[in-house]
A = this chain, B = another copy of it.
Amino acid sequence: MSTIPDSEYEQRIKRIQAEMGPRDIDLLVGYGSECEPHHIRYVSDFKPTFDFAGFMIPREGEAALITGGPESIAYARDNSRLKKILIHPFFLETSAPPYHETEHIRFSDIIPKVVGELSHIKKVGIVGSNIFPHEIYMDLKKAVADAQLLEADDILFKVRMIKSPNELAAMKKAYKITEECIKATLDYAEPGKMEWQLEAKARATMVMLGAEGPAYPIWVCSGPRTNQGLSRSTDRKIREGELVQLSIGIRYQGYCGNMCRPFVIGDIPQNARRLMEAGLEAENEAIEAMGPGVESIGVQRVFSDVLKRHGFGREFTLYGPAHGTGLQECEGPWINEENLFELQPGMVFNVDIWLSDGEIGLRWEDGVAITGSGVEQLSTYRREIISK
């Protein structure tokens, strides 16, 4: 359970509302699911389960949580920091059991419970716009027929970008558990064990230490399968003398920790060593370059310079050296060639070095918080060339 007090959730709503004013947005409507809960958890701490969830935030006054049906009501009352809880049947779980007492409810019924008069709404901001279901969008549009609907994800991401001390405390704990998982998994690894068994060891370790579960569908891949930037563990047996990739992240009180480590059992083949050394140096130098007031492009340049020095151009990687992290393992801002910004205290990044020679690949990843005077590294365990 979250140790962040109700007062901080109230502050979050106020910070969001402060961003709505200058943009003339009268109402924010957010949407989330079991696998995309981040905005919902940020405003309410509610964790969508089976039913989908949403929120409505008026420019002033009390915000509301939206859930799909009667089955979620007692749960939401117990768990949501937003105490106004409204039902919209389009947020019901996919199998949609029939609840006749609520099936008629539409946005035209519930918006007035948050903003008063429907006709006062001129602009509605959509949050979670890349996953916002068409059916829900159409019902919203019908309810506010004269209003403009626009994407407003950036408001939430802006407010979420700077972590509070309470959020940082949760994230530090998340990375601590992640380090324990990496340790347990490395200790457990031996030739003949299957990729999924290593993943299982990490999963078993994280939950017994208090994690809610993995931060994303984590994986272990090995040999030629390491060339998959995203992957899934299989029953392939790991072997001596070949690359094994651990991509292990955990979720604690909603917040993510994540670490990626490549390793080899026994002697490291030359092609693997070349990638491991280049990636490790890129990660270390990128972290070295980070700090408050630093321009993001400077970090990007350090990263690409290291890779070039090792003979790896842009085509050997997928993206820049780091991305924000928090309630979602991978969230903005991205550090890359295009997205220019200044690193600020309270930002938390995963330095994330993906590198592939076309045949095998690897990822180094660790958490770094920007502080007032430098950085705090949230995970460092065995950031080294690992031969077990």
Which of A's residues lie within 8 Å of B, judged by CB? 1, 33-36, 38, 47, 49-52, 70-72, 74-75, 78-79, 90, 92-98, 129-138, 196-197, 199-201, 203-204, 207-208, 210, 213-214, 216-217, 219, 225, 227-232, 234-235, 318-319, 323-324, 328, 330-332, 334, 336, 338
Contacts and interface: CB of A to CB of B under 8 A. Distances in A.
A232 B47 contact: yes
Nearest to A216: B50
A318 B227 contact: no
A43 to B, nearest CB: 16
A152 to B, nearest CB: 14
B34 A217 contact: yes
Contact of A204 (B203, B227, B234): B203
A330 B95 contact: yes
A52 B131 CA distance: 9
A374 to B, nearest CB: 25
Contact of A203 (B36, B71, B213, B334): B213
Contacts of A203: 203-204, 207, 213
Contact of A51 (B131, B230, B328, B334): B230
B318 A95 contact: no
A141 B334 CA distance: 31
7 contacts: A34-B34, A34-B35, A71-B229, A74-B228, A134-B137, A200-B208, A200-B210
Nearest to A224: B78
Contacts of A71: 229-230, 318
Contacts of A96: 130
Contacts of A75: 228-232
Contacts of A94: 36, 38, 130-131, 328, 330-331
A362 to B, nearest CB: 13
Contacts of A318: 70-71, 97
Contacts of A208: 197, 200-201, 204
A47 B217 contact: yes
Nearest to A225: B78
Contacts of A334: 95, 97-98
A38 B47 CA distance: 21
B1 A234 contact: yes
A50 B207 contact: no
A203 B197 CA distance: 14
A341 B230 CA distance: 42
